Structures are given as C-alpha cells and as structure tokens.
Amino acid sequence: MSSLLASAVPFLLAAEDGAKKVFSDGGVLAEWAWLIPVVPMVAAFAIVFFGKRSPLQGWGMAWGSMAFVAVYGTVLFFMNISDGIVYEGAVAIGSWGADGLGNTFGIEWGWMVDGLSIMMYFVVGVVGVLVFTYAKGYMEGDIRYTWFFASFALFGGGMLVLVSAPNLVQLIVGWELVGVASWLLIGHYWEDHENSSAAIKAFLVNKVADVGLFIGAIIIGLSAGSFRFSVIMDVIAEGGGDSTLAQFSFWAGVAIFIGAMGKSAQFPLHVWLPDAMAGPTPVSALMHAATMVTAGVYLLGRLFPFFNTPGFADDVRWIIIIIGTLTLFLTGLIALVADDIKKVLAYSTLSQLGYMVTAMGAGAYTAGLFHLFTHAFFKALLFLGAGSVIHAVHSNNMSDMGGLRKYMPQTYWTFMIGSLALAGIFPLAGFWSKDEILASIQYAGGNYTTAQGGAELANFVLVVAIAGAFVTAFYMTRAVSLTFFGEYKGDGHPHESPKVMTYPLIGLAGFSVVAGWINIPGVIKWFTDALGARFLAPGDHHPESIEISLAIIGTLAAVGGIVAGYFIWFADKDTQQERDKFRIPLLYPLLEKKYYIDDFYMNGIVKPIRGPVANAVDWFNGHVIDLVINGTGLGATRVAKLVYWFDQRFVDGAINASAAATGETGGMLRLLQTGRVQQYAFLIVAGTVVLVAGFIIF
C-alpha cells in the first residue's frame, strides 16, 4: 500500500566551520513540487494521444508544461535566495528486499527541493520555455511536428525527474528517460543514415558509461543502507573510516564518475556529442544548455560531499580534475577546424563542461555549478542563434555564410553577446563564473592539495584553464568572422528569422548579460548561499573578494584570443579555404582527425565487433545454438510421431473397441423394446409368477 512520506530537516550543516543553520521547509510550494516533473511527463503522453487533434498540433501542451515549470521554478528560486529551502518528499510504493544487515530497500517516488534542485528547476524551466517558443517557428512545416514536441516534452520531463530525485534509483530512471528522449530527438530525421547513426552512437556510448553509474549506485546504496541521498549524507556526516561506505568509497566514486563522464561527454567519451548535432537545432540548444550534458555535472554536485569529505571518495577528485582538464583544452582546440557552426558550438560545450568538471575536481562545488548556471543561458543563445542562421541560409557550414550581420541584425547582435559571454568578457555572465573557477583552482593549488602533494598539478591545471580561455575566444572570433562578416557566399537570399524565433534570442541575451551578477565575490553572494541549502553543506571554498590579478590574466587571455582571431580571420576572402590558410603544422591535421579517437573506436572496437567477433558469434549461432535448437526440434518431432502412433493404435483403439462393444450390447438390448403394452404386461405377470414360485420353493 502506498503511503506519503515528507520530511524537512530544520538544522543542517551549512558552513565550513561546521556551524548549524536553519532553513525553511518551503511550505505548500515545496509540498506540491512533485508537479514540476509530472506535468511535462503528462504533457508528453497527452501529445502522443491527442496532439494531432489539438489546435496547435501538440506545441501548446509542450509549451504550457514548460511554462508551468518556469514559473514554479522561478518562484522557488527567489524564495530560496531569501530563506533557503530544504525539503524532501516521497511516496513509498513498497519494499523489494533486504541486505541481511537489517536494511530494507524500498521503491519510492520522491521530490527534492533544495538549493541544487531549485537551481536546476529554474534553469530547465526558463531556458526550456524560451527554446520551446523558438522551436514553434523553427519546426514549422516539419513532417513529424507533433511527434517532435512529444519527444521534446519527454526530454524536459526526464531531466526534471532526474534533478528532483531524492534517491539514486529515481535518478537513474530520469537518467535513462533523458537518454531515450535524446535518442529519439537526435534521430528525428531518421531517414538520413547519418542522423540515425548519430542517435545510435549517442545511445551506445552513454550505455557503456551507464554501467559505471549502476555499479556505483549499487555500491553506495548497499554500503550506506539506503539509496536516499539524505541517508547517504547522514552516513558521510558521521564520518569514520571504518564505515562500510568509506571502505568502498574509492571504487564507488570512480564508477559514479564514469557515469558522469558519459552524460557530460568527458574525454575520451566525448565522441557522441558533436555527432548529436544531427538533430534539430532546438534539441541541440536544450541538450547543451539545461538537460542531458548537464546531468553528469549535476550528479557530481548532488554527491559532492561524498567526493569532498576526507576518508570517503576524496582521492577520486584527482581523476576528476585530470579528465576535466583534458576535456576543457583538447576538445576546445577541435573547434578551430570545424566548418559546421553547430559543431563549433558542440566542441565549445565540451570545453565548458570540462571547466565545470575541473572545478568539481578542485573542490569548487559552487564555482562548477555557477558556470553551469551562466553557461545555460549563453550556450542556449548561441545554439538558437546558429539555428536562426541555418534557418536563413539552409546550410550548417560557415563556408556558405558570411556578411549575415547586414541581413540578420537581431541574430547578429545577440550572437555577439553570447560569444562575448562565452569568452568571459567583463561584465557578462561568463566572466564571473569562469573567474570563480580560476580562483578556486588557484586556491586548491595553495591549500587543498598541498598536503596531498598535488599543488603542482593544480597550478598546471590553472595554466591550462587560462590557456583554454584564450582558445575559446580564438575559435569564437573565427565563427563570428566567417558567419557575419565579409560577403555572403551562399545561395538564395538570407533574411531575419520571424519574431517567434528572435524574441527568445533577445531574452537569452539579457540573461547572458546579467546572470552572473547574482554571485560577485565580496559584493553579492545570492547564488552561493542559495546553492548551499541542502542536507549536508558542500564545504567548498568560495572567494570572498575578486582575485584582481587572476581576473586580469583571464581577461587578457580572452582579449588576446579575440585579437589574434581578428587578425587571422576577419579579413574576407573568396572562400573559407583561403581564410583558413592559417594552419599549425602537425596540430591542425591532428585536430581534423579529432585525435584519431573516433577512428580508434571504429577500427579498434566497432569493426572488430562487426567483423571477426560478429562472424564468430554468427558461426556459433549457426553451428552450435541452431544445432541444439534444430536437434531438439527434430527429436521433439520424432517423439511426437511416436506418441501419435501409440495414440492412434492403442489409446484410440481401446476407446473405439469399448465404444463398439457398448454399441453391440445396446443393439441387442434394443430388441427387447417392442413398444407393445400387452407384451410388457405379460412379461411383468410372468416375472411375478416366477419370483413367487422361487420364494415358495426356496
């Protein structure tokens, strides 16, 4: 029987000094927050059944569900900034077993309302409603218009199931819902083999990584005695290296991070994300900004105390920071050689995800999630801007563009704002979040890692992160120059997109300017305080003032990238090939081959599986399994024939003989029945006489 469980913890660890802090339980808004994931999921199924018969062909239901999330998430967001909210609710469905140690594990559907989940409700809702608005114009006339919005609503709903989850089991359900929806959306134009292959590639790479998530979740759940995050945090808060969770924490942490690597496309599991650009552009915008790829970073944030508490999985942070650093730099370089404007932005997303993961590895919970927050707005803006351009010129390739600022002024100016925010130019949103990451890495180099002998690594990471800021500005200057400056090189007549597409660009441009202003070190720390409202404080370091020298260095790196890109690519040429004469020997051929990682996967894994392994499996199937199955079938056939013969000759013979004897006896007895009353009377009298005579005689 189902039962409703709800809890709010009034006193929670809230600061590095271990002090207690009182948080609000959120009142009725927190109690009813289960509607946030449920409404989009219901909308997805409603569109499937009723979408084509609805006035707006399903778009209205999809947009309405996301608008509901945006409003609800915004109210919670500002309430959390004001009071701090921590609430956990769940509907217990039943138990499914015990571990032999007195721990019973149950199946429950729940919802978490705390600083981390509220931030994600706000981001998914606000970015989602703007992208859904844009999609109405972008997808107009699509052959599967209604189905697209059913899948799109499922995509948003799946992410909300994930971020609302109060336990690892429900998180995995949302995790897989996002994966299925992304497969549907990336392969939306499934008639094109390239698109369907991209969808399968994304699905399979993520499934490989998901094995790690499943293993990690099982280890943590069994070790802690529960899959609930609140219980896991209690075990961590109690500390103690002798606890079962602490003993298995390293391997659990590694496994969990492998799962995060898949969803957040960390090197070398990043290969699926650029190919995922085959899907419609609104999908790319939502995927890169608020769903799918942010799920891995969110997972690290949700379990951050597990990775940040000595005696648990803190040693895994070195793996995290190394992988994040490789991702932020190596994938950003590939954007320098891409011609597809969406793939430039895809590699940019990989690089920015690397920054977020690196921050988590450096112990900077707030900095990593603050960059997730600001990045959501300017990356959604850039993808929608790219979609506006593609919508106008009917090509993804920058070699078919040029001079579009004259034809598409609103797209141009908003794209410029997004590019500058991505580059980290003051005072746009990206400046504040990227600067906080750099400051946190610098702090880690001088504090967290010194005792562990990792100061040199952290300082190296800081240098790479600053170099990454240069590379980011460099490739975005190239993209802006090739797309919006010079002469138009495509066919047809480009034009500005309709208002249903440009208004979301303007809205996102506004967020790209101001989103970083809610977390300025030494001035305002709304975001930091709000994000710290949770069952166990993250215990991370946040700068108390702006690191002026580091901010100047980071800004100079970004400006240097813009200046270098300006001198190399701003001057117009007849073709992009002439523009791209700038090539660094050895490096650029390596980048064009994407470090040969895709080739390695194809030639080292896929083709061997398709070739010798597949042939061996086929032979085994044909010569062993089929032999057993066919032999079993042949034996069964012969046994059946024998049974049939026995049935016909003996069983049916006996039954038929009995029936014949009964028939003969009945035929003889039938002769006694003449139908004459006189005869029956005579026989009765005669029988009576015989009986009387017998009694007298005997």
Statement to judge: residues 442 and 369 lie in one domain: yes
pLDDT band per the 50, 70, 90 thresholds, residue 678: confident
DSSP 8-state code for residue 25:
-
Mean pLDDT (the chain) is 88
For residue 507, count CB atoms less than 10 angstroms from its CB and return exposed for 0-12, middle for 13-18, buried for 19 or more. Answer: buried
Residues 227, 233, 234: CA angle, nearest 5 degrees: 100
- The whole-model pTM stands at 0.85
pLDDT in tens, 577-602: 787 778 888 899 999 999 999 889 88
Residue 533, H or E segment: none
Residues 561, 564, 570: CA angle, nearest 5 degrees: 115
**Helix, coil or strand: residue 239:** coil
Of 476, 465, 470, 473, nearest to 338 by C-alpha is: 476
Q: Is residue 429 part of a domain?
A: yes
504 pLDDT above the threshold of 80: yes
Q: Is residue 401 part of a domain?
A: yes
Backbone dihedral angles phi then psi of residue 379, each to the nearest 5 degrees = -80, -35
Measured CA to CA, the distance from residue 206 to residue 186 in angstroms comes to 14
**Helix, coil or strand: residue 397:** strand
Q: Is residue 661 part of a domain?
A: yes
Statement to judge: residues 655 and 552 lie in one domain: no
Measured CA to CA, the distance from residue 433 to residue 429 in angstroms comes to 7
Query: Structural domain of residue 646, as residue ranges?
Result: 615-672
Statement to judge: residues 581 and 619 lie in one domain: no
Measured CA to CA, the distance from residue 459 to residue 477 in angstroms comes to 28
Q: Is residue 559 part of a domain?
A: yes
Q: Is residue 306 part of a domain?
A: no
Statement to judge: residues 440 and 490 lie in one domain: yes
Statement to judge: residues 515 and 647 lie in one domain: no
Statement to judge: residues 397 and 506 lie in one domain: yes
Q: Is residue 115 part of a domain?
A: no
Statement to judge: residues 396 and 488 lie in one domain: yes
Listed ranges 9-23, 466-480, 481-495; the one with the highest mean pLDDT? 466-480
Statement to judge: residues 622 and 566 lie in one domain: no
Using the structure block, give the residue that is written with the tokens 């790219």. Answer: 386
Q: Distances in Å between the alpha carbon of 567 and those of 291, 571, 582?
A: 36, 7, 11
Statement to judge: residues 576 and 625 lie in one domain: no
Statement to judge: residues 621 and 503 lie in one domain: no
The mean per-residue pLDDT over the stretch 338-351 comes to 95
Statement to judge: residues 532 and 583 lie in one domain: yes
Measured CA to CA, the distance from residue 638 to residue 631 in angstroms comes to 11
Rg (CA), the chain: 35
Measured CA to CA, the distance from residue 574 to residue 615 in angstroms comes to 50
- Structural domain count of the chain: 2
DSSP 8-state code for residue 406:
T
Statement to judge: residues 393 and 470 lie in one domain: yes
Q: Is residue 557 part of a domain?
A: yes
524 pLDDT above the threshold of 80: yes
9 pLDDT above the threshold of 70: no
Measured CA to CA, the distance from residue 210 to residue 182 in angstroms comes to 15
Q: Is residue 301 part of a domain?
A: no
Look at 24-28, 222-226, 655-659 and tell me which has the smallest mean pLDDT. 655-659
Measured CA to CA, the distance from residue 42 to residue 25 in angstroms comes to 27
pLDDT band per the 50, 70, 90 thresholds, residue 622: confident
Measured CA to CA, the distance from residue 371 to residue 365 in angstroms comes to 10
Q: Distances in Å between the alpha carbon of 367 and those of 159, 322, 431?
A: 22, 17, 12
Measured CA to CA, the distance from residue 475 to residue 85 in angstroms comes to 41
pLDDT of residue 72: 97
The mean per-residue pLDDT over the stretch 294-308 comes to 94
